[in-house]
Structure 1
Amino acid sequence: MAKAFFCLVLGCLLSGVLPTAAASADGSELKLCYEDQDSYPWVLRDGSGLNLQLLGLVEQAQALSFEFVPVPWSRCLAGLERGAYDGAFASSYKAERLAIGRYPADADGRLDERKRLHTSSYALYRRKGSQVDWDGKAFRQLDGRIGSLSGFSIVDFIHAHGAEVDETSRDPLALLQMLRRGRVPAAALQSLRADFLLQAHPQLAATIEKVKLPLEEKAYYLMLSNAYVGAHPAMAEAIWTEIGRQRESPEYQVLMQAFLARPEP
């Protein structure tokens, strides 16, 4: 027996793959990986972020223990596939990822957006009375560069749709003030953050409005490993259901407002 085990371990070392067992036997302790880059306001490299706060509420409500591991995203997904991690977040839906893990599903086996961690939505903001518009496919009546925060993914989206970008600001409040003063004809911002700032600054809300159609919108989920769902199907469903419940809870809404009110890193 000992010789056989030694041969197994030796074979794994030579192949570069070690057997892993992330979850505890009863499924209450989970190792969850996430990308080790800032994705404000959902996860930040300093260990904060709304996704982490939401999962903390889930952890408490279900008497679970989560270990959060920041790693490069490709490594996170690879680890999920081989069972080194019980879950990975925040993952948008891609059909090819069904081979490496599970998304929350409804009774008919369809993706259940009610159990998402969050929806990341970007919108175009303009001065009231402006003719600048977004029709869902192209920018209209645009004269000048669209203001956006430096380093955010929406910049690539704007370029892909034929517009130029002013990235001189890394602060959303400063960017809205630039828009109000006419330094940019429009601004592309995360809706959650920009709407909160407009609500908090009535002088900006009096002169700025959001274009109705979003620029880009995606739901993001906690994926769970095939191994975890196979071993603990009821627990997996409880976790996903609790995510949806806690996301809409008054407690999370308070945490969200407090987090968004902080100065952005």
Structure 2
Amino acid sequence: MTCRIFSTLLMSFIFFNTYAVTIKLCYPDNDAPPWQIGNGENIFHPPGLSIDIITAAAKKIKADINIIRVPTNRVFQLLAKGEVDGVFIFSFLPERQESGVYPLLKNGELNHKNRVASLDYHFYKNKKSKLTWDGKTLSNLNSEIGVNRGYAVIDILKKLSIPYEESKGSEILVKKVDSGRLDGLVSQSMTVDLFIRKLKAKNLIKLSPPVISKDYFLVFGKSFYEKNKILCEKFWDSIGNLRDLVIKKNIVKYAN
């Protein structure tokens, strides 16, 4: 009986301490609909699907969160310094493991189920351009390819020896390609497609196949994860369980 009482008290103690913390999260300050809305440090309403998903997941497990926005190149700097507890939404890069922890399976592989999103990257070209993409080679390029600053797809451009120009946000890139200032761009297709509709851009053509498909995650800081493993794992599981439901419910808000 004494052991049972002790076990109950211990579990209550663990449960209490798991949620007795406010999780400070951070995401980039550039507009990338439907996943994050608006430029700058303010959180817009509606804020974007990634914030919708993460907020719903936190609510489900009764975790308190505080969300801020900073420039993309500062996000992992803050995580490394321990000034934020987690960042989103980011694909996997080996160097990001220096300061961050991703949801993993027991075999050490990324847990696809607990992703916030899966996104396809496509090349887009101006309709007057002769640019072609066969899945391996980008041909007939007459200018640099536009790409969002800090995006992981830059590594692919480097490997393919494709010259690129970094910009802050897909909206700027769509405008440049639509006006002919750039031959083409590479970015998340859902975001670019939304900007094409929003801006009534008539001069962009999507090239297939996708350059790459990537999973995107909420990444916790190493120190925070070590101190709050149960909380982090529950948070990731909650994201995996709610993600598709939240997207289905909220996507209509970002359709225009």
Partner of 2:220: 224
1:40 aligns with 2:32: yes
**Structure 2: gaps (5+ residues):** 1-15
Q: CA deviation at 1:55?
A: 1.1
Aligned to 2:188: 190
Q: 1: CA distance between counterparts of 2:134 and 2:210?
A: 9
* Counterpart in the other structure of 1:5: none
1:63/1:33 Cα in 2 relative to 1: closer, same or farther (>3 Å)? Answer: closer
> 1:104 corresponds to which letter in structure 2?
P
Q: Is the 8 A contact 1:146 1:166 kept in 2?
A: no
CA contact (8 A) 2:80 2:100 kept: no
Partner SS, residue 17 of structure 2: coil
Name the TM-score, length of structure 2 as normaliser: 0.64
* Superposition map of 1:144-223 within 5 A: 144-145=142-143, 148=146, 152=149, 160=158, 161-163=161-163, 170=171, 178=179, 186-196=184-194, 209-223=205-219
SS at match of 2:23: strand
In 2, Cα distance between the equivalents of 1:170 and 1:95?
28
How far residue 66 of structure 1 moved from its aligned partner, in angstroms, is 0.6
- The 1:129/1:176 distance shift into structure 2, 3 A limit, reads closer
CA-based RMSD of the aligned residues comes to 4.2
Aligned-residue identity in percent: 19
Aligned length in residues: 226
- Aligned-pair CA distance for 1:172: 6.7
Deviations 1:94-121 (A, max 9, x none): 3354454421012323211222223454
Give distance in 2, aligned partners of 1:66 and 1:57. 11
Q: Give the residue type in structure 2 aligned to 1:63.
A: K
Q: Deviations over 1:65-101 (max 9, x none)?
A: 1112345324322234xxx543233343233544544
Secondary structure at 2:24's aligned position in 1?
strand
Gaps of 5+ in 1: 1-23
Give, in angstroms, the shift of residue 201 of structure 1. Answer: 10
TM-score of the pair, normalised by structure 1: 0.62
State the SS of the aligned residue for 1:26. Answer: helix
Give the counterpart letter for 2:85 in structure 1.
D
Query: Structure 2: how far apart are the matches of 1:129 and 1:241?
Result: 46
Identify if the C-alpha distance between structure 1 residues 236 and 159 changes in structure 2 by more than 3 Å, giving closer, same or farther: closer
